[in-house]
Amino acid sequence: MSPKNRPKISYHIPLSKKILLVIIIFTLTFSITFIGLSTLNNQKISEMVQGNKFLDAINSKVYDINGKIISEFYQENRNPVPLSKIPLNLINATIAIEDSDFYNHKGISLRGIVRAQWENFKNIILQLKKEAKPHGGSTITQQLAINTFLTREISLNRKLKDMLLALQIERSFTKDEILEMYLNEIYFGHGAYGVQSAAKMYFNKNVQDLNLAECALLAGIPRGPSYYSPILNQEVSLKRRNIILNRMYKLGYISEEDMEKAKQNPLELDYNNKRDKLTAPYFSTFILAQLLEEYGANIVYKGGLKIYTTLDLEMQYFAEKALQESGHEGAIIAIEPQTGHIKVMVGGKDFGESKFNRATQAYRQPGSAFKPFIYLTALDNGFTPSNIIEDSPITFKNGWSPENYEKEFSGPVTLREAFEHSINVVGVKLLDQVGIKKVINYSRKAGITSELRPDLSLALGTSEITPLEIASAYATIANLGVRVDPLSIIRIEDYSGKIIKDIIPQKKKVFKEETCYVLTNMMKGVIERGTGWNAKIGRPAAGKTGTTDNFVDAWFIGFTPELVTAVYIGNDDRKPLGNKMTGGVVAAPVWANFMKDALKNNEKIDFLQPDKITKISVCKESGLLPTDSCPEILTVTFIKGTEPTSSCIIHQKYFEIPKVEEYPEIKTPYYEEIEEIKKKYEEKPTETEEKEETLQSLIEMLREKHKK
């Protein structure tokens, strides 16, 4: 029979035999591959498991000065807890839905694998559920292996690897240790890893405080964190919870009554995702930058560091509130002068809108807020608050003519008055007299690190600096000449509590304490009588206003004995704040609002007076010892030996007129005395014609009174 005429043989294979053949081939392939990988990689995998810490990705926490948590740094939001703190209901719910044979198998469950493959065959090959995802039949131990060592790749090779790893994990750890690691490792959606982070995020509770219904709800999330999220799919999440409750009852973990009661519990979430909220965000990012530079991302995000900082969260709240209520963009920075501790850092009114930290990154002209460093230099080099400088027009060699804010001149004024009222021309003349280089040197010693212009415009604050810089420099004055560089971190501990960095403030004496004390008292006058009157807070305080051309920037930097605060107000695009929007008008009220709240529980104390200080009464106008004719007298502070010794020459009189009330009658003998005085002055003529006329007029006045 020719091949053409041979009957065709049909090789039809029934469906049942096809399925059996597929299973046999799969089993043989799986077994051969498994044995091969086990032989080749067992030693390598053993070393990998033994050397792995599993929970190496632990949040680093940042604390304030009072031990309150500010923020956490993490790539995964994870807070490991021991198994003893995890509720039995949560443990049982997880075992019930994920791996009911957990305490019986050795890392893998053949029954689970077969069951999973049958589900895959029905759903994927037979397409009974087209959208179903492949089942792996993984045990809790396998899932731990995948989460720790492997990727979520769906492949036979990865499946074999996780099985080998699971077997080795079971040989290396107890069941309870494996369960503890797993419950602290699994992902619950929205950035939360582990049961403690999930409990805090979804219910704002510690894990040990969860009830049965909440435990069942959490246990159902890891299979599909997005799909079963109670935030995204409440109905699906509740159905999943009830399936788990049924499973727990079937396995004997709970009674029927407990099951039914838990099913009736409404979904009561208290969603509190740390990724959605940032406390003291500008300070937190400021700290983060320092840590990343020193320790690197791996340690910072995964090392479980404990960072203890200088920030005071209560003060921080008051500062944020003060800036928000002002309605302006700007920054607030507060420093403890004795320690350099940064107590407050507000880098803007809305971190969500702008991450730009104006407290540390905004270089702006301080205007007259720079003048204290000129006056500090002058006071330390022989000048006193009573020295007179003429407030009058002047043109320098380069053709520059400085102007005052009011475009007017006051004539001869004391340095005290010029400082209190922020007279620009006097500031420029004083800078010219003490020397630009010397002022720059003093500024550097105080703590200014930015570039300073070596010309007379320095007196008007034209060199740009940051709020943090100027606050630190003012702190040197407040600390009576002892400079302490600003600090934001006190101590850093590793995950075990071992101190890896302990920061002690570095102090350096840079100015005489008596010089700083005299300047501080001049700065007190700014608030009491000068441009900073809006900064009165009902306790001893000193400060200085600052305003730049066209009202672009407004400042007030002030301090009490325990706190230095700089307030900067200004637009990022450098647009003017508005007409007459000076530092005294815009920034000083913000400063006062914050300081009143920040210090409300502090005792009212004055600045500590050094030994080489004297306080005397002087004429407000001349700065000299007062006469009975001086209309206004002030108490002014001087370094001992520099106080004035001569009397006021502005309000001095040659003869005091008796008061009519005390002398109702003028008797004849006064004529003789008058004649003697007259002869005396005729023999020794007065220096000016004005004085002769004054004396003659007094004599004539007395004669007229006597006649009457």
Out of 171-185, 345-359, 654-668, which region has the weakest mean confidence (pLDDT)?
654-668
CA–CA distance, 695 with 456 (Å, rounded to integer)? 47
Q: Domain boundaries in the chain?
A: 42-63+79-263, 342-598, 612-650, 669-707
| pLDDT confidence band for 30 (50 / 70 / 90) | low
Per-residue pLDDT of 113-128, as tens digits, reads: 666 555 555 555 555 5
367 phi, psi to nearest 5 deg: 60, -140
Residue 544 · residue 371 · CB < 8 Å:
yes
Share of the chain above pLDDT 90, in %: 63
The per-residue pLDDT of the chain, averaged, comes to: 85
Residue 310: pLDDT over 90: yes
**Selection from 560, 64, 568 nearest residue 337 by Cα:** 560
Position 433 pLDDT exceeds 80: yes
- 């570095």: which residue's tokens? 506
**What does the longest C-alpha to C-alpha distance in the chain come to?**
177
Pairing of strands 563-570, 553-560: antiparallel
CATH of domain 42-63+79-263: 1.10.3810.10
Domain 342-598 part of CATH 3.40.710.10: yes
Name the active-site residue from 368, 443, 463, 472. 368
pLDDT band at 210 (very low <50, low <70, confident <90, very high): very high
- Averaged pLDDT for residues 332-344: 98
Number of residues that this document lists for the chain:
708
- What percent of the chain has pLDDT above 70? 78
- Is 368 a known active-site residue? yes
Mean pLDDT of 59-80: 89
Tell me which of 60, 72, 98, 472 is the catalytic residue: 98
pLDDT on residue 127: 55
pLDDT the model gives residue 681: 56
For residues 287 and 73, the answer to whether their CB atoms sit within 8 Å is: no
pTM over cut 0.75: no
pLDDT at 119: 58
Looking at residue 680, its amino acid is K
More confident residue, 21 or 518: 518
Maximum average pLDDT range among 8-12, 353-357, 396-400, 581-585 = 581-585
CB atoms within 10 A of CB 666: 16
pLDDT band at 293 (very low <50, low <70, confident <90, very high): confident
Q: Nearest CA to 78 among 162, 148, 8?
A: 148
Q: What is the model's pLDDT at position 130?
A: 47
Residues 6+ apart with CB under 8 A from 493: 305, 306, 308, 499, 500
- pLDDT given at position 8: 43
pLDDT > 50? residue 55: no
- Report, as an integer, the average pLDDT of 298-305: 85
Q: Is 570 helix (H, G, I), strand (E, B) or coil?
A: strand
Work out the average pLDDT over 541-563: 97
pLDDT tier at 686, thresholds 50, 70, 90: very low
Higher pLDDT, 16 or 178: 178
